[in-house]
Amino acid sequence: MPSPYAGALVAVRDVESLRRRVQAWRREGRSVALVPTMGALHKGHLTLMDRAQKMADRVVATIFVNPKQFGPNEDFKSYPRPEHDDFELLNTAGVHLLFAPDVAAMYPNGFATNVRVSGLSDVLDGAHRPGHFDGVATVVTKLLLQTLPDIALFGEKDYQQLAIIKRLVADLNIPVDIIGVPTVRDADGLALSSRNAYLTPAERAQAPKLYAVLTAAAAAIVAGGDIAQALATAQDEILNAGFSNVDYVEARHGETLQPLKAGEQGRILAAAQLGRARLIDNVAI
């Protein structure tokens, strides 16, 4: 059923307007959900919006391609920015407010603060993308403090990001519940991602193998198989599937992201390069 608010989306670009609207809802006794995004919205994002609508009276989506979380050789400039389509998708989804600041509004001259979650930010993707998670932690802290929502929703596809955000919210006593939402996949298993747009048709056909390999490795570990052996096999199979490089394929504790010990529950996480696209994925153990 379409949301009764479909078509009523309001977009604001400055923090004062965002705060004014959220405060007005607060005075009416409404609860507020925040869904931060970098735009280029797909079904995964819309699932977050849908979940947010079920959990709160009002939904604020943000679109901000955050320069601080891109490395110097990464795709900040070419990152897709289909602003009109994104607005229409949020509007149709019944989101109430879009906060879409520009870089100067988020990082005005003189901006000098960096939020860093030690340990969790240094492993896995953090080891391959120096500074990435500091950029994520800094912008998410700002978005949470700018909006002061009751809940904020993030996809489990970026599992390490989710673990870092949960940690920083606990450490900084930010009064918000962080909700992780399961990864949305295409029918063939490929996790939805804005960067899937970089895949050629041939690469798109190879890409689901990443999820298939991780699922098989998780099953082998759950069945009592040796963790190191399962990960080595997974690495070989990802390369055999046509990926040019595997940055990591690791079994980690679900909260601390420390290496998984036999018998523990956790996640298998991987990042691998396929053509222009660096795909990340993870599955539960």
Residues that bind ligand PAF (CB under 6 A): 36-38, 66, 69, 136, 139-140, 158, 161
Q: Are 40 and 79 spatial neighbours (Cβ–Cβ below 8 Å)? A: yes
Q: CA of 35: how far to CAs of 68, 93, 164, 219, 261, in Å?
A: 19, 13, 16, 32, 34
- Comparing CB distances to ligand PAF, the nearer of 38 and 123 is 38
Instruction: Provide, rounded to whole angstroms, the least separation between the CB of residue 27 and ligand PAF.
Output: 28
- Comparing CB distances to ligand PAF, the nearer of 38 and 207 is 38
Element (DSSP H or E) covering residue 62: strand 58-63
Q: Are 210 and 246 spatial neighbours (Cβ–Cβ below 8 Å)? A: no
Q: For ligand PAF, which residue has the nearest CB?
A: 36
- Comparing CB distances to ligand PAF, the nearer of 30 and 195 is 195
Is 45 a catalytic site residue? yes
First to last CA, the chain: 35
Q: Which of 45, 96, 128, 253 is catalytic?
A: 45
Using alpha carbons, select from 219, 229, 221, 218 the residue that is nearest to residue 270.
Answer: 218
Q: CA of 221: how far to CAs of 226, 242, 264, 280, 283, in Å?
A: 6, 24, 10, 20, 12
Instruction: Provide, rounded to whole angstroms, the least separation between the CB of residue 164 and ligand PAF.
Output: 10
Instruction: Provide, rounded to whole angstroms, the least separation between the CB of residue 69 and ligand PAF.
Output: 6
Beta-bridged to residue 248, according to DSSP, are: 271
Instruction: Provide, rounded to whole angstroms, the least separation between the CB of residue 130 and ligand PAF.
Output: 16
- Comparing CB distances to ligand PAF, the nearer of 142 and 252 is 142
Which residues are marked as active site? 45
